[in-house]
């Protein structure tokens, strides 16, 4: 596992690193399975952290605050920060067509400088680790640190190995990694579930590019949905909840939080909706408030470090984006947020029409603590780093968002299509808009796994903000429960077996 940084060297671009990742296979999952077979559960957990979301972790590493180091060696901290920023910009450069010898020389010069920066970064890290107390500076997180991720409830990491699956569970106030064997699930079975599930969504337009809620099923999809959800329940979710002693359905206000961290082909499947829908016994949605996280480490950076000052909500609405179908309900969706904010005297900024440009939205995101997107979004299968929100003057791409660093942030509500879909060939890298916003500083994300029905988005949004915006203040850590309550109301309205309507909404982070 220590060889991964050498293979995915910081001296190459993000695009190049993702390309190399496609050749690596499921090495981290198999390594973890081997450790689990030897009952080395802590080591398995550490290896899964090191071998997944690798590029995201590299980006976060370059953005590490150096306050503690600065108190010991201010010059070294300043140098690290400068090189890290330059290295991040170099890594995010895009490949362009070369039309002249001069451009070729510029490209070679940029690549050489990129490699020099990576070498300089490694040398600086070696210097830091020679300082007493900094021996493990920016090394992969160890089990002791990962144990702190369960502040809001159990964190369940599901590893899918060749022979069987395993759940590694981090429990609050517990220093040991718990283990639950999942013999019913394997890599081949998880792959089969994914191969059944995603073509179903795609064939019916629920993974359509740049559309939101304009497609309808041409046939009854319940049988396939039910089959997938039943398998997830029997083979994955029920054994874990039984181990945790969660068996009774409670009121929404009393349901415990559980955070799922899935691997391999289980990534992107709706564990939060797992259950037997022809059986009276409760399923996952009835028993827990489900949250998701791409890695355990992402939770550690998401917990509030200080109260901060709330600087308002930015609402971005595009009902008539050039080049895309009209979305009819964005105005109604934003109207409630605006009124609710005014009623409670919280700052509110709205950008729509020709005001919702890429630059103005980025400025607004930096100024406001929360952001709500009600617009078209898409995820190109061939290059997921070009996943984007589509605005008046162009696309706000994931690759552009990750160049920013946001401070004092709370909730990001992504009321658009497939904002947490991920990519089929790199499921463990969490390359989607929701993960991008989580990684750049938004600790709480509401997103979607596939297209949203246009009539559902305003209703879910309205019910979420009715819970979150009050005279008592705004608390993004209550967003998961607020979403669960809102989706419960939608499910009661449309019926639990219209899975495509309510299971698309998920929460990431804390």
pLDDT bin (cut points 50, 70, 90) of residue 198 is: confident
Residue 68 confidence (pLDDT):
86
**Whether the predicted pLDDT of 207 surpasses 70:** no
| Each residue's pLDDT tens digit, 397-425 | 888 887 787 888 999 999 987 777 777 77
- Closest residue by Cα to residue 366 from 327, 418, 311: 311
Q: How confident is the model at residue 214 (pLDDT cuts 50, 70, 90)?
A: very low
Q: Is it the case that residue 384 has pLDDT exceeding 70?
A: no
Chain segment 231-283, per-residue pLDDT in tens: 999 999 999 999 999 998 888 889 999 999 999 999 989 999 999 998 889 99
Average pLDDT over residues 184-202: 88
- CA–CA distance, 350 with 353 (Å, rounded to integer): 10
The yes-or-no verdict on residue 167 having pLDDT over 60 is yes
Confidence at residue 77, expressed as pLDDT on a 0 to 100 scale: 92
Q: Would you tell me how many other CB atoms lie within 10 Å of the CB of residue 114?
A: 20
Q: Is the pLDDT of residue 213 over 50?
A: no
pLDDT over 80 at 308, yes or no: no
Which pLDDT value is given to residue 35? 97
Q: Give the E-state strand segments of 174-276 in sequence order.
A: 178-182, 257-262
**Structural class in CATH, domain 148-298:** alpha beta
pLDDT band at 352 (very low <50, low <70, confident <90, very high): very high
d(CA 315, CA 348): 8
Q: Does residue 411 sit in helix, strand or coil?
A: strand
Domain edges within the chain: 4-128, 148-298, 307-509
Question: pLDDT tier at 383 (50, 70, 90 boundaries)?
Answer: low
Distance, in Å, from the CA atom of 327 to the CA atom of 318, rounded to the nearest integer, reads 8
- pLDDT at residue 212 in the model: 45
Closest CA to 21 of 249, 12, 87: 12
| 203 phi/psi in degrees, rounded to 5 | -65, -30
H or E element at residue 6: helix 4-7
pLDDT score of 100: 52
The answer to whether 504 touches 446, Cβ cutoff 8 Å, is no
- Tell whether the model's pLDDT for residue 483 goes beyond 60: yes
- What is the band of 96 on the pLDDT scale with cuts at 50, 70, 90? very low
Q: Which pLDDT score, from 0 to 100, does residue 244 have?
A: 98
pLDDT of residue 210: 38
Q: What is the pLDDT of residue 160?
A: 96
The pair of three-digit structure tokens given for residue 140, joined into one six-digit string: 């992969």
The pLDDT assigned to 98 comes to: 45
Q: Tally helices (H) and strands (E) across the chain.
A: 21, 14
Tens of pLDDT, residues 120-165: 999 999 999 999 999 989 888 999 999 999 988 999 999 999 999 9
Q: Is 402 exposed, middle or buried (0-12, 13-18, 19+ CB in 10 A)?
A: buried
CATH 3.40.50.1460 fits 307-509, yes or no: yes
Give me the pLDDT at residue 201, please. Answer: 78
**Distance, CA of 225 to CA of 276 (rounded, Å):** 11
CB 401 within 8 A of CB 437: yes
The answer, yes or no, to whether residue 218 has pLDDT greater than 70, is no
Average pLDDT, the chain: 87
- Read off the pLDDT of each residue in 446-472 and give the average, rounded to a whole number: 90
Which pTM value belongs to this model? Answer: 0.89
Of the two residues 199 and 125, the one the predictor is more confident about is 125
């Amino acid at each position: 596992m220590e060889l991964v940084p050498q293979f995915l060297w910081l001296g190459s671009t993000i695009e190049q690193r993702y390309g190399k990742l496609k050749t690596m296979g499921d090495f981290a999952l198999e390594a973890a399975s081997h450790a689990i077979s030897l009952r080395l559960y802590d080591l398995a957990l550490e290896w899964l952290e090191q071998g997944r979301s690798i590029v995201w972790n590299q980006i976060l590493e370059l953005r590490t605050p150096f306050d503690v180091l600065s108190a010991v060696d201010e010059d070294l901290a300043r140098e690290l920060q400068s090189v890290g920023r330059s290295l991040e910009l170099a890594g995010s450069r895009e490949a362009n067509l070369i039309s002249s010898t001069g451009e070729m020389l510029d490209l070679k010069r940029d690549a050489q400088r990129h490699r020099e920066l990576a070498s300089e970064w490694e040398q600086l890290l070696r210097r830091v680790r020679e300082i007493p107390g900094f021996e493990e500076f920016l090394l992969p997180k160890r089990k002791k640190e990962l144990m702190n991720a369960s502040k809001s409830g159990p964190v369940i990491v599901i590893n899918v190995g060749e022979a069987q699956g395993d759940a590694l569970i981090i429990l609050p106030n517990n220093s040991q990694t718990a283990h639950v064997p999942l013999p019913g699930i394997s890599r081949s079975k998880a792959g089969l579930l994914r191969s059944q599930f995603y073509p179903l969504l795609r064939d019916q337009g629920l993974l359509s590019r740049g559309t939101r809620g304009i497609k309808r099923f041409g046939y009854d999809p319940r049988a396939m949905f039910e089959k997938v959800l039943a398998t997830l329940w029997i083979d994955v979710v029920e054994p874990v909840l039984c181990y945790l002693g969660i068996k009774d359905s409670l009121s929404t206000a009393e349901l415990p939080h559980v955070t799922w961290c899935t691997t391999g082909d289980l990534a992107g499947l709706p564990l939060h909706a797992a259950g037997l829908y022809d059986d009276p016994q409760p399923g996952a949605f009835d028993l827990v408030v489900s949250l998701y996280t791409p890695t355990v480490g992402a939770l550690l950076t998401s917990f509030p470090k200080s109260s901060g000052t709330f600087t308002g909500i930015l609402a971005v609405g595009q009902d008539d984006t050039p080049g895309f179908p009209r979305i009819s309900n964005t105005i109604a969706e934003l109207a409630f947020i605006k009124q609710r904010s005014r009623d409670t005297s919280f700052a509110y900024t709205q950008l729509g029409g020709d005001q919702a440009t890429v630059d103005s939205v980025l400025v607004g995101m930096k100024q406001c603590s929360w952001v709500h997107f009600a617009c078209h979004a898409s995820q190109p299968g061939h290059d997921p780093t070009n996943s984007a929100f589509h605005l008046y003057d162009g696309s706000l791409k994931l690759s552009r968002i990750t160049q920013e660093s946001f401070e004092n942030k709370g909730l990001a509500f992504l009321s658009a299509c497939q904002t947490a879909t991920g990519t089929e060939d790199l499921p463990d890298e969490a390359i989607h808009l929701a993960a991008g916003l989580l990684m750049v500083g938004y600790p709480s994300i509401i997103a979607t796994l596939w297209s949203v029905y246009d009539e559902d988005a305003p209703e879910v949004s309205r019910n979420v903000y009715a819970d979150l915006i009050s005279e008592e203040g705004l608390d993004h850590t209550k967003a998961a429960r607020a979403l669960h309550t809102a989706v419960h109301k939608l499910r009661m309205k449309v019926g639990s077996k219209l899975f495509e309507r309510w299971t698309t909404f998920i929460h990431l982070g804390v």
